[in-house]
Chain A
Amino acid sequence: MTFLIAARGVGRRFGGHVALAPVDVEVGPGEVVVLVGPNGAGKSTLLAILARALSPSSGQVELGDGVRVGWMPQRPAHYGRLSARQNLELFAELEDVSGAEELLRRLELPDDDRPAAALSVGNRQRVDLAIALLGDPQVLLLDEPTAALDPRQRRRLWETARGVRDGGGAVVLVTQNVEDLEHVADRVAVLLDGRMVFDGPVDDYLRSEAAGALA
Chain B
Amino acid sequence: MKQPFLLLRKDLLVLRRSPLLLGVLVAYPLVIALLIGLTAAYANAKPRVALVDLDGIPPRVTVAGQSFDVDALIDQVAKNVELVRMDEGEAAQQLAAGRVAAAITVPEGFVADLKGLVASPHLTLATGTGGIAPRVRQQMQALVYNLNLHLQKAFIQADIRYVDLLLHGGKGVVLGHSFSIIGLDGAARLLARVPPSPTRAQLEDFVHDARLALALTDNAIRATAAPIVLDEERGRGRTSALSAQVQSYGLAITITILGLLLAAGALAAERDENVIGRLVRGLVGLGRLIAAKVALATAVALALGLAILVGFGIAVEAGGVAGGEPWQRLPLVLLGVALAGIAIGAAGALVGALARESRTASLVGILVVLPIVFLGLVPREIVPAAYWISDAFPFAHAARFFSSALYDRRPWEVIGREAAWLVGLAVVFFALARASARRLAA
Contacts and interface: CB of A to CB of B under 8 A. Distances in A.
Nearest to A132: B278
In this complex, the interface size class of chain B, counting residues with CB under 8 Å from chain A, is 20 to 34
B14 A95 contact: no
28 contacts: A14-B442, A51-B281, A52-B280, A52-B282, A53-B441, A54-B277, A71-B277, A71-B281, A76-B273, A77-B273, A77-B275, A78-B273, A78-B275, A78-B278, A79-B10, A79-B273, A81-B14, A81-B18, A82-B14, A90-B6, A90-B10, A93-B2, A93-B6, A94-B3, A94-B6, A94-B283, A115-B17, A131-B278
Q: Which are the 4 A-B pairs with shortest beta-carbon distances? A: A53-B277, A77-B274, A52-B281, A94-B283
Nearest to A55: B441
B13 interface: yes
A79 B3 contact: no
A81 B14 CA distance: 6
Interface of B: 2-3, 6, 10, 13-14, 17-18, 273-275, 277-284, 441-442
A179 to B, nearest CB: 26
A71 B278 contact: yes
A52 B278 CA distance: 9
A86 interface: yes
B283 A54 contact: no
Contacts of A52: 280-282
A73 interface: yes
A173 B248 CA distance: 58
A54 B279 CA distance: 11
Interface residues of A, number: 26
A79 B17 CA distance: 12
Nearest to A69: B281
Given A79-B10, A81-B17, A94 B284 contact: yes
Given A14-B442, A53-B277, A54-B277, A79 B14 contact: yes
Contacts of B283: 91, 94-95
B10 A82 contact: yes
B237 to A, nearest CB: 48
B277 A82 contact: no
Nearest to A76: B274
Contacts of A115: 17
Given A71-B277, A91-B283, 17 more contacts: A14-B442, A53-B280, A53-B281, A53-B441, A55-B441, A71-B278, A76-B274, A77-B273, A78-B278, A79-B273, A79-B275, A80-B273, A81-B18, A82-B10, A94-B3, A94-B283, A94-B284
Interface string A6-21: 0000000010000000
Nearest to B14: A81
A48 interface: yes
A78 B3 CA distance: 16
A121 to B, nearest CB: 14
A94 B281 CA distance: 11
Nearest to A51: B281
Contacts of B275: 77-79
A91 B14 contact: no
Contacts of A86: 13
Contacts of B274: 73, 75-77
Nearest to B16: A81
B296 to A, nearest CB: 14
Contacts of A76: 273-274
